[in-house]
Amino acid sequence: MTRFRVFAIVALAVGFLLAYFVWATQANPTSSYRFKLGLDLAGGTELVYKADMSQTQPSEQGDALSALREVIDRRVNLFGVAEPLVQTDQASALSGTTEDRLIVDLPGVTDINAAIAALGQTPTLEFKLATTTTVGTTTQVGFITTGLTGRYLSSAALQFGSGATAGLSAPQVLINFNSDGAKLFEKITSENIGQTLAIFLDGQPISTPVIKEAIPGGQATISGNFTATQARDLVKNLNFGALPIPISLESSSAVGPTLGSAAINAGVMAGLIGFAIIALFMILWYRFPGFIAAIALAEYLTFMLAIIKIVPITLTASGIAGLIISLGMAVDANVLIFERTKEELREGKTPREAVHIGFHRAWTAIRDGHLTMIISGIILFWLGTSIVQGFALVFVLGTLFSFVSAVTLSRIFLLAIVPEDGGGAWKFLLGSGIKNI
């Protein structure tokens, strides 16, 4: 019994420390461990873009979409938004096909036009080979994609070279490709000497240089008709991240901070009321074990809130719902344990022996129930949209820790107090319902 009492004291001490951590970090406006709130709670703007994959090979579309997300993520972070969320998704179009979409959540940004303008300045950079087609006496000039886009860009810099007018220097943009881009650029230039390799920015040709020789090293110069200001802006935007594929804005929406605050208050109130009702029911029906279960649930809730802060997990309204539902899983496990304990008491076991056997007999049912919930949560997170994923992540974590709460904490607290031999008082305290047992 002494061993369990030491464990119980340590568990209670840890619980109080975690509770203080949760309260203190939330009370401090400058703390880095404050809850990270999602768009639906903090308010802000959501932008949905359609990605144009028409010029991208099917085998490269996955990589291109990942590169697009990374570029926009860099751009959003430079925009100065706290905890932005940039994710890709596939949605059904009216034609029956699927569309690749980019979803950008900007918490705290309520000016939709400013957000659109900031992201819209990111250019699409492409290198295309010129081709000629002769029809009768007419020669048509077209361009074919090479696969070399801003996706492979690593940096851009401003320099000044010889201009068309004697004595003047023309601003140029020096760009450097990453290792993959350097290999592709060298391959293109070595196989197309004498051909025009046009540089397109946002779908418009800005420079049409002729390839004179193979260019190793992954470095190229854009020498369009720029002013110094235009060249500096281009360098800045390219360093922010040139888009590997074109995107177009499909929809935008804003969530006001008032609605976000109302959602937080409603979620917190639902959690408090739910916890109070569960604790009251457990105490009234299961008596002393119910009281122990309420303490274990409080520790579980404190631990979950601390984990959400430390990881951190972006908290959404659906995530709060997942946390509240996981409370029910912890209670369900305690109910199984206490009912098994009650059965052992009926058969004449001593209170402490009944508790030991009750936990042992309920173990397999608790394990299987929690395992099925975790599998369901993982599937939801894998296949669901962002809203469903927020719910699934908190639900899976909550189910894992509710398992620990029910099987470990409740057992430690009970065995720290329940004596080896107990009379009628302990049989009553370990019973349930309106009768003795």
Pick the CATH number of 125-248 from 3.40.50.10490, 3.40.50.2300, 3.30.1360.200, 3.40.50.300: 3.30.1360.200
* Same fold across 2-37+256-429 and 125-248: no
Nearest-CA neighbor of 69 among 399, 386, 296?
386
Name the fold adopted by 2-37+256-429.
Answer: Multidrug efflux transporter AcrB transmembrane fold (1.20.1640)
The domain defined by 43-121 carries CATH number 3.30.70.3220:
yes
- The helix-helix angle for 2-27 and 257-310 (nearest 10°) equals 140
Task: Please list the pLDDT of the chain residue by residue as tens digits (437 residues).
Answer: 788 889 889 989 998 999 999 999 988 888 888 888 777 777 778 888 888 887 777 777 777 788 778 777 766 765 655 567 787 777 666 656 678 888 888 877 777 787 777 676 666 778 899 887 766 667 687 888 888 887 788 888 888 865 544 345 778 888 888 888 899 999 999 999 888 888 887 777 877 888 888 888 888 887 767 788 878 877 776 676 667 777 888 888 877 766 667 777 887 888 788 888 888 888 888 888 888 888 888 888 898 889 888 887 877 777 888 888 887 777 888 888 888 888 887 887 888 888 888 888 888 888 888 888 889 889 888 877 666 777 888 888 888 888 877 778 888 888 888 877 766 677 777 766 655 54
Strands of the 153-162 sheet, one edge to the other: 153-162, 169-177, 219-222
- H or E element that contains 287: helix 257-310
Q: Where are the domains of the chain?
A: 2-37+256-429, 43-121, 125-248
Structure token pair of residue 213: 């020789």
